Structure 1
């Protein structure tokens, strides 16, 4: 078994409980426990990290589909060459993931920390990401009808509620977007990718930090001054919700190279009360009009320019479920963010960010942990010939 080095073990000491008799290390407890994998196991599971198994690639490294010897489908994030800073960030990410215990958050299946290798293991999500259904390879198939869209919106909100109000210390995600909302076999949403996450202690209102995330989802105060708080995630969720309802991208390229934000497009329709015109045309009118209006109202509340006026995620979940009893004045105008040209620089990854994926959006790799790779390309490493016959017992 590959053991993590002393510094890594120390940083994760609160999570460990060893069972040397079985030759594995389990972390946590119950059904959500996870363990350390050996590099040999992950090499075998991914067909030697074959290009055919690659799900996505970014500045942090690559993600591969795999299948363990006991039939579990996994996604393996293989990080690039490590330095001391990257190693500490790896340890922090693993620890953050180890704290996550919620049905709408992608937790950790395990990790591998060899001499010169750092790999993080997740469960594989067969329906890939929300992005792949709204804008990617599944966009034309309409697998997410109105009912599923509302389920995805509410589930994603509940995952954020857990991060902001339940887990201690609270966690700010900092990169809420459609590519980081993964979908399981039942289209249950799981918020993923905690590479940019920040822990925030009780009583701390905000942190000032280097801007990370994806342009189009970022709150004004974060883009301009690097002030990050839970309300930044609320803003990002508002954009995500508007994207779910409308089927439009956060930033659209218009003829002539002009870029328009989704809020700029939606603003006149909302202010004139033309809610039906906001619904994704691919729905062909099959949506609940009262739910549509409620979702738009929640969006407008979430994307207000003043962070103190935004609801918290408890209120967002309650509003989306129709349970919010507190009377709220629903503003029917969005003060659109119009990104100046110089701010577009935030949409480009820098060399300093190579180890963690950068701070920008890569349109060629926008599918997050699980990309739009065709499933049939991936070779099952355990479906091989034994004694001249295909092994049919691997399933």
Structure 2
């Protein structure tokens, strides 16, 4: 029996990726290319889109060649509908429309955040965990309930990845391979902990005030030789990660769930994984996490999630294959999960009713 195959396109931020995946989660290919700016600079939508346009055709050819398939063998074409940056998102949306008409293949629009979750679940084997989704554009604590991925807590201003990236610019750290990674390496050399604001508001967190404070602190303390850049990176990581562990643990208690899955680009951070693993083990649970092949934006996660939806009858008409910068995780009807037994959270809700 022929396996269903999807070709997926991810381009919501500074990475353009193309992936080929089968319905059982086998990744046949997953090439990507990252737009890297000079130290101290972020990436702008227009230049990022131009980068994606330049690299997407070679990536498609590479993905098909590595997977050893032809367009005829593809069952559906999947792309990131949102959330993300408008101009970069548009590149994948346009390409998928063109290929759909050339190859006569159906389209499936995919939510970027849900794709991170499904990729994490299939790669790690996590069944029904509380999910911490942390990246440059998103920070959410999520759990599945009643057909959707419900958001229990989130940032009320900037994402944790954006906070780390912007501080990396203050220190003019390299953006290669990414600023968060270079902050992580520098933090390992930190010796002095500097108190920073700790902002948890119920199930939500705030990072903009911490960023403003450490930016001012960095200028003053570094000028007076009172600390090192490594000390500041160490202090920032310890503070923001402790906040994330706190709200994740609160969601675990609420859902009566012992397992945690970390997804998104910041999820690669070994210190965050270490802190979360300690908390999970103290509660008798497990931490599920992946490396940069899967937690950083990639085409395979879009292909796999789109294929799950397609296998359950979901198709996006050509005229509706648009993109949007705002697309909430809890807007998605996760039809592929509905036939499973109720999660712990659903069981609790049924018992209390």
- Could you state the TM-score of these two structures normalised by the residue count of structure 1? 0.26
Relative contact order, CA 8 A, sep 6+: which one is greater?
Answer: 2
Q: Which of the pair has more CA radius of gyration? A: 1
Bigger fraction of residues in helix: 2
